[in-house]
Structure 1
Amino acid sequence: MSVLFVSCLAVCLLPFVHTAPVSVAWCYHMPWCSDTVWSTISKECNGTEQSPINIVTADVQANTNLTSFNFTGYDDDTNLIEIKNTGHSIKVALDHEKMHVEGGDLPGLFTSMQFHLHWGNGSTMPGSEHTVDGKQYPMEGTNDTGKPESWKTLTSYLADVANAGDEACITEYISMNDLLPGVDRTKYYRYHGSLTTPNCNEGVMWTIFKEPVKVSKDLIDLFSTNVFINKASSSSLMTNNFRHIQPINGRIVTSQVTDVAGPIVPLPTNSCLSDPSVSQTEVSQSTFDLVMEEYW
């Protein structure tokens, strides 16, 4: 997504595994619980395939298996069910019985569970988790106001979930396609990484779309001015809720044969990217993470 939360859209798939919940509190803002100490909170956060990363376009390799996706239920405007302030992010629950994704060299059919968002501090301070050639996107906003209409509708619920733990039913008609206007979902980067919050589980197959979603600055600003970490009367606004860049440790980022900036080196046939993971959609200043599990 480009503006509101986008410039970079990411889809990742998380392996179908069960892990113990994090027992120690983690955060983005305080030194004793920020991402600089997450490795002491969860050992997985100190792994060798952590996310997010900086994508160096000159090092991206070609993978002809990265075909188009098949999205089921993304045009249904009744599938966004509930919005919630988790204390770390804003999360939107989806009707997972109706929403699925397959194709794109994914190892099977996956069901879309929820998406959540990461952002910086207003429309002028970058907040994307992944970067491209060292650039952290600031949710590039347009000069219009209240655009697009789908994001105006979604952000209208932020007042209802200002405090951590607040949740509200989504009664307006919005589809996932409405939230991704103009995004070419056939052009993307792919690499193996992890969740970007504790437990930081690895085995995630990340898909980062190259085209952003454009959202006007006034809507972007609503996230960093209307959402609080705890209670509005006694806590800080939720800003800069993103994890910083992690070492790539020799991992390969791939893309389609065409439309890759910089030289393309064919991917060796024995280098197969096939681990299942979660599906996240990430953007520029904000990250739009769509979480998915393999469908059984």
Structure 2
Amino acid sequence: MRLLPVLLVLVAARPSACAESHWCYEIQAKHPNSACLGPSQWGGNCQKSRQSPINIVTPEAQIDPSLGSFSFSGYDKKRKWKVQNNGHSVMVLLEDEASVTGGGLAAQYRAKQLHLHWSERLDEGSEHTLNGVRYAMEMHIVHEKVKGTSRNEKQAQDPKDEIAVLAFFVEAGSEENHGFQPLVEALSYVPRPNMNTTMNDSISLFDLLPKKETLRHYFRYLGSLTTPGCDEKVVWTVFQEHIKLHKEQIAAFSKKLYYDSEQKLKMTDNVRPLQRQGQRLVYKSRAPGQLLPLPLPTLLVPTLTCLLAGFLA
């Protein structure tokens, strides 16, 4: 009978213990007295075979002619966006104000939020890597498929592309990025989890991105969310052109944000480790640096004809 009270205490304590074992990044899991689960222990779909992020090897990416230009709607609309520290990253709530079509996507996708991943070190903050190179940060603009806009019924029922993420590498530049500055300034007002603020100045999504004409060059593959439950329903677009921020702007994310309410652990290295690509193919919109609009033989024939005519004359 003495065992009964002990068992009741253990049963009562179990839910709270499970609640404390929430997911976190490796830097948090290694922190003294941490009870959270690092990336190797993430549950849900996180141990499946079509996970993200991956290393993109550019010479192995296959050109897909269907990956044309994107059509951006609402990306030019300036607003004082809401900003939130969600305990894992800083998030900008986009409130369905923008959407994207084209770019080989099977439907229209509405923008829900954007967030970033980063590190104090300028070569360890991106989740994806490009030919093994990791960058200072990575920005994700997360979109959801709009029902009724798929090109055909089969695509409408395809669960692999319910979410479209536009991903951008961020590297250190020599000048301040004025488009990003309202977001950088907002960080001071959301240091702790679950804090919210509104930007002091209005910006558009285009203010955060590289020049529009560079957005034709990108890589495409099917993967997952990079946070639990790691649902494998994401069509990824990773752009070749990088965003450039001054190193002080990059450093602000690690200096001003914290994972915990006590502000003991700086929010940095919020990066999921690379996942196996497996049998998945990575596609590219066109050959990087390709300047010739026509096949080389087509261009050479008239040139050789002229040269031959001149020689015979």
Please confirm whether the aligned pair reaches a TM-score higher than 0.5, indicating the same fold: yes
Q: Could you tell me which of 189, 192, 195 is aligned with 1:163?
A: 192
Query: Shift in Å at residue 234 of structure 1?
Result: 4.3
Q: CA deviation digits over 1:133-154, x for unaligned, max 9? A: 111112421223xx11111121
Larger radius of gyration: 2
Q: Can you give the 5+ residue segments of structure 1 that lack an aligned partner in the other structure?
A: 1-21, 262-296
Give the TM-score normalised by structure 1: 0.74
* Closer/same/farther in 2, CA of residues 125 and 190 from structure 1, 3 Å limit: closer
Query: Residue 229 in 1 paired to residue 259 in 2?
Result: yes
Number of positions where the alignment pairs a residue of Structure 1 with one of Structure 2: 231
Matched residue type, 2:56: I
| Residue 133 (structure 2) aligns with | 135
Q: CA deviation at 1:257?
A: 3.3
Counterpart secondary structure, 1:185? helix
Q: What are structure 2's unaligned runs of at least 5 residues?
A: 1-17, 31-35, 137-169, 291-313
Q: Secondary structure at the match of 2:113?
A: strand
Shift of 1:125: 4.4
* Counterpart for residue 227 of structure 2: 197
- Contact kept, 8 Å, 1:92 with 1:116, in 2: the verdict is yes
Alpha-carbon shift at residue 36 of structure 1 (Å): 1.6
Report if aligned partners of 1:60, 1:260 keep a CA contact under 8 Å in 2: no
- Assess if the C-alpha contact under 8 Å between 2:94 and 2:112 holds in 1: yes
Structure 1 residues 234 and 148, CA gap change in structure 2 (3 angstroms): closer
Superposed, which structure 2 residues align to 1:114-263 within 5 Å?
Answer: 114-122=113-121, 124-138=122-136, 139-144=170-175, 147-182=176-211, 184-231=214-261, 233-259=262-288
1:50 — aligned with what? 51
Question: Contact 2:124–2:135 at 8 Å: present in 1 too?
Answer: yes
1:77, 1:175 within 8 Å by CA — same for their partners in 2?
A: yes
CA distance in 2 between counterparts of 1:54 and 1:212 reads 16
Q: 1:187, 1:125 → 2: CA distance?
A: 22
Question: Matched residues in 2 for 1:223 and 1:61: separation?
Answer: 35
Deviation string 1:190-223 (CA, Å, 9 cap, x unpaired) is 0000000000000210000000011100100000
TM-score of the two chains, using structure 2 as the length reference:
0.70
Q: Is the 8 A contact 2:217 2:286 kept in 1?
A: no
In the TM superposition, residue 81 of structure 1 has moved relative to its aligned partner by 2.6
Aligned-residue CA RMSD in angstroms? 1.8
Q: How do 1:6-155 residues align onto structure 2 when only pairs under 5 Å count?
A: 25-28=22-25, 29-31=28-30, 33-38=37-42, 41-42=43-44, 44-78=45-79, 81-96=81-96, 98-122=97-121, 124-138=122-136, 139-144=170-175, 147-155=176-184
Q: Distance between the aligned counterparts of 1:125 and 1:259, measured in 2?
A: 22
Q: Secondary structure at the match of 1:168?
A: strand
Whose relative contact order is higher, 1 or 2, with alpha carbons under 8 Å and at least 6 apart? 1
